[in-house]
Amino acid sequence: MDVHVTRSTLRGTARAPPSKSYTHRALLAAGYSDGATVESPLVSADTRATARAVGAFGGSVAPADDGAAAADGADPDLADADALAVEGFGGRPAVPDDVIDCANSGTTMRLVTAAAALADGTTVLTGDGSLRSRPQGPLLDALGDLGVRAESTRSNGRAPLVVAGPLAGGEVAIPGDVSSQYVTALLMAGAVTDEGVEVDLTTPLKSAPYVDITLELLADFGVEATPVDGTGDPLDGAAGAAGFAVPGGQTYAPSDGTYAVPGDFSSISYLLGAGAVAAAPGESLRIEGARPSAQGDAAIVDIVERMGAPVEWDREAGEIAVERAALSGVTVDVGDTPDLLPTIAALGAVADGETRIENCEHVRYKETDRVSAMAEELEAMGAATTEEPDVLTIHGSESDLRGATVDGRGDHRIVMALSIAALDAEGTTTVRGAEHVDVSFPGFFDAMADLGMDVERDEAGE
């Protein structure tokens, strides 16, 4: 699907979708349990992949109000469900009857790879072409060091993967600067091993807030996991950790059998950016569902304020109000918040001065190389950029955004970020592959149209 976005003025209120990161973890945590209800989940292409994996391991996921469980890896009709009833596999996943297809979801593949290591037998995991190009080697190596057969069928550290357990636990070393999801996967699986798992980081941890999300969710499910410093002393959070310890023999069981997913700050970033770029003069664009959590991407509130837009965040009510403003460039380190790079780059193309996005090399290993993708597509719209291995600079004062045809690169975040830039471009911008917003924000273009975005959808993509 292509969308055609024309410069627009926005007003009104939008609600943030539930968090994709929390939903992935909650579905799998509920799978590790004897059963739980996940309230306010994000039902998207990616989270459906995790739901299918829970089914493949012998559990099931279905809308909580109809009681029709889908097992054996089936893809249940979860659309529009306010809550999902998960029948768990009690910490002991069964050997799947078929290959687990993780589609385009890197989070699913990494978390489920570690879960597969618990099964007493062999699991095969694969995904689409994009996912099969993404690195899994460090996690495979870690599982191998823990006594599990964990291999890439092409011997390149990429899917398809073959995993054969069972995993008993132990101590393992893993780099912290490739993907925090490796740590999350080991902690979630380690809690139900016999011996527990100790993870030693061989390089500093990037994207630490995503591990904080994991630690927060594990605690909500009654599971203990502790970040430690270089001497083994406990820390309050993942930042600066030298490793992590999770005792074995634990049971996943949320309070009252339910877990509620918070709003997604990665998705809020597009709504917040849209308001800063295109809100009606003198009016605030309001965003609901923004209650505080461990999400590092809440940093977007401060970033937009630093760029000059008035922002008010009522944390208790979970509501953000943002006004349009003349934006100025800033310097941002995205080492802990890689998913914000597309949004920041789009805002930088609208702002005056330079926006310098640092510590971003790991952002090249997402659904696409998001550093190059944003540089190239913004340049097609008239922006001036400089790309270095670990830095992306947007020269806003040298940029003059105009309508163009740009490629979303099969990446939901690129599609949404380019659509935000299009709000300020002269003329009409065509964004190809816009259907990929279904990965994390299925109703994005509906929400933007309700706010006043001039957007036309071309389902044929012509």
Q: Is the pLDDT of residue 130 over 50?
A: yes
**Are the beta carbons of 53 and 100 closer than 8 angstroms?**
yes
Map residue 364 onto helix, strand or coil. helix
| Cβ burial 41-58 (10 Å sphere, 16+ → b, else e) | bbbbbbbbbbbbbbbbbb
φ, ψ of residue 391 to 5 degrees: the values are -145, 135
d(CA 238, CA 459): 43
Tokens of 414: 């690129």
> What is the pTM assigned to this prediction?
0.84
State the Cα–Cα distance between residues 143 and 160, nearest whole angstrom. 16
Range of the structural domain that residue 294 is part of: 2-17+263-458
| Side chain identity at residue 242, one-letter code | A
Q: How far apart are CA 424 and CA 63, in angstroms?
A: 40
Side-chain half-sphere CA neighbours of 404 within 13 A? 17
Task: Please state the φ and ψ torsions of residue 15, each to the nearest 5 degrees.
Answer: -110, 130
Question: 144, 85 in Cβ contact below 8 A?
Answer: no
- Give the model confidence (pLDDT) of 172-225 as tens digits: 999 999 899 999 999 999 999 999 999 999 999 988 999 999 999 999 999 999
Residues 12 and 39 occupy one common structural domain: no
Shared domain for 280 and 170, answered yes or no, is no
Asked whether residue 386 falls in the same domain as residue 403, the answer is yes
Which letter does DSSP use for residue 258 in this model? Answer: E
Residues 241, 376: one domain? no
pLDDT for 105-122, tens place per residue? Answer: 999 999 999 999 999 999
Confidence class of residue 143 from pLDDT cuts 50, 70 and 90? Answer: very high
Which of 227, 260, 293 delimits the end of a domain?
260
Catalytic residue from among 2, 339, 407, 424: 339
Q: Is the same domain home to 394 and 296?
A: yes
Considering the domain architecture, whether residues 253 and 267 belong to the same structural domain is answered as: no
Give the domain-ending residue among 260, 284, 308: 260
| Catalytic residue status for 352 | no
Quick one: 250 and 360 in the same domain? no
* 247 shares a domain with 325: no
| pLDDT for the residue 261 | 95
Q: pLDDT at residue 68 above 50?
A: no
pLDDT band per the 50, 70, 90 thresholds, residue 79: confident
Tell me, yes or no, whether 247 and 377 share the same domain. no
Q: Does the pLDDT of residue 80 top 80, yes or no?
A: no
Q: For residues 125 and 99, is the Cβ–Cβ distance under 8 A?
A: yes
Task: Give the whole-angstrom CA distance, residue 312 versus residue 299.
Answer: 14
Q: CA quadruple 450, 407, 110, 299: dihedral positive or negative?
A: negative
Helix axes 341-350, 370-380, angle to 10 degrees: 20
Percent of the chain whose pLDDT exceeds 90 = 91
Closest to 360 in 3D by CA, of 350, 373, 347: 373
As a whole number of angstroms, the distance between CA 179 and CA 110 comes to 9
Q: Provide the pLDDT for residue 65.
A: 75
CA distances from 412 to 267, 364, 415 (A): 10, 15, 5
Whether residue 166 is preceded by a cis peptide bond, meaning omega within 30 degrees of 0, is: yes
Which residue type is seen at 178? V
The residue among 235, 260, 285 that closes a domain is: 260
- Directed axis angle between helix 20-32 and helix 265-278, to 10°? 170
As a whole number, mean pLDDT of residues 399-428 equals: 97
Count the neighbouring beta carbons within 10 Å of the beta carbon of residue 336: 21
Q: Which tens digits make up the pLDDT trace of 237-275?
A: 999 999 999 999 999 999 999 999 999 999 999 999 999
For residues 306 and 245, membership in a common domain is answered with: no
- At 436, which CATH number? 3.65.10.10
Kindly tell me if the per-residue pLDDT of 101 is higher than 50: yes
Q: Are residues 47 and 8 in the same domain?
A: no
Spatial separation of the C-alpha atoms in residues 312 and 183, rounded to whole Å? 34
Q: Are 300 and 445 in a shared domain?
A: yes
Can you say which residues are annotated as belonging to the binding site for phosphoenolpyruvate? 20, 106, 134, 181, 370, 413
Tally of domains within the chain: 2
